[in-house]
Structure 1
Amino acid sequence: MRIAVLIPCYNEELTIGKVIADFRRELPDADIYVYDNNSRDRTADIARAAGAIVRREFRQGKGNVVRSMFRDIDADIYVMIDGDDTYPAEFVHDLIQPVAAGEADMSIGDRHSDGSYSSENKRPFHNFGNQFVKALINRLFRSQLRDIMTGYRVFNRRFAKTMPIQSEGFEIETEMTLHALDKRFRIIEIPIRYRDRPPGSESKLNTVSDGIRVLKTVFWIFKDYKPLAFFGTVALLFFIAGLAVGIPVITEFFASGRIAKMPSAILAVGLMVLATNSLTCGFILDTIVRNHRDNYELLQNEFKD
């Protein structure tokens, strides 16, 4: 099998050499690709000297890098890993095994099962954000995943070549997980150890801005993938608001035979119309999404590994 190790990088000169050496030791026959995303340090030079295939991605953002990787690189197995040396290379065999055996389309390096992420990661809001997004996605998609946002993943060719990537930044991991859940790809989680960045290596993540981007991604994908549930919820909110405004008007009408609160009556009717329109949009878009899923399944049937 052709194995490609994909390493998106931005200013990782302190760690990229070790990451490449570790994966070269574990996977001596694999092709190791480093996509430099406009680094201002010696990341590209060090990666090239370590024997990696170095390419440039000028559009800033991890999502843009992964999109180019999936388009440009042909392999049977894709290993995606960060260049910050937070994921031990020795676990790569455990992640590759179920994908290579045809038991999974994507395997995920689960950082949470052994507690290493909570103990090693020194950013408490990141831990909270991970848990919140995980609970939200598991609720929306009725799944039981333990690590939604890990950067240590292995894919087969089918997944890599048929996934439409919309994200530009660090929300790409969330998008991958949501896409796999919605399209019923087989996912297996493999417990791994996580270690924090070595001294001198700085994270590019921003808890607030990246957290907002991830939540926006979950919101839009929920709307696009489950429109009936989304617009049904919106319709329910409008319906409740319409009842709250309209019940006093109806009560007054039955008591006196006339309507004195005309503005409230107009508002209540407007809210009920919005509720009806939202529910109608939900049914129409749900039919479109179902047709899209059918077409995607047909595409999968025609895909040649």
Structure 2
Amino acid sequence: MKPPPFAYHAPATLAEALDVLAEHGADAKVLAGGQSLIPLLNMRLAEPAHIVDINRVAALGDVRADARGVRVGALARHAAVERSAGVAAVQPLLPAALRHVAHPAIRNRGTVVGSLVHADPAAELPAVLAVLDGTVEAVSAAGRRTIRAADFFAGPLESTLRPGELAGSAFFPALPPRTGVAFTETSRRHGDYALAGVAAVVSLDEDLRVSAARAGYLGVAATPLVLDLTRRARQAQTGRPPGDADWSGVAGFVRERLDPESDIHAGADYRRHLAGVLTERALRAATADALGRAHTSAINEEAGW
């Protein structure tokens, strides 16, 4: 397989890249990791007249983690973010999900922001950005704008980036106090796209009861789906000690709200059932994670750390 003919641009600065994108608009595609774009080109599923290779724009490779969250530049590779101790400390859901992305060879080259822009509803990172209510910063010759995850994913393989815009970075908010996370998915083979997956975030109050619970789903809708499960999670803990809950009711609630499609890999009913099972696992694990973090924080406070 060979790609269709295109003009190749290799700007050395962000300004140069934005000028090329402004000139060619919808006829241009950005090349970063290339793990999605190159196969699309080779299968002739994408035929841009211009390819803008941003790999020489070094400033786009930054990964910054602070008390507010994690900002990942457009050239930051999956592997670099996955292995970052700073990222793991500030937002552990990100490396937890990245461990499920394809294979090490893909993660060594593919980019976090590129995966978001590709907007595959079966991919891990769009669901993570969505459940955390993260953002993408779009830059163009005309300026910058910040797009919330809820507004970024327009459909399968479709984002709301405009012609001439480059997704310069993505921001994943930091983990709040007494909050735990978990990521789980099921695929036919390791490294395949998931048949269904769940990213869960659970927060506890001072009495170590659930105060908030959200789950982001992949593989069950045309875009990443986020459900607020707070009320159901609280009900699941009624009459039980902290950390213990009957999550089966929450799983049933989730199944009622999902309308997945059947394809050659799995039927809609199976995906719906699987999403419920994974919801139970993810909420249980996220709650245990939250309890562990709450206890560690309490010990550190008593020790004066």
Normalised by the length of structure 1, the TM-score is 0.29
Normalised by the length of structure 2, the TM-score is 0.29
Between structures 1 and 2, the one with greater strand share: 2
Q: Greater relative contact order (Cα 8 A, min sep 6): structure 1 or 2?
A: 1
Between structures 1 and 2, the one with greater helix share: 1
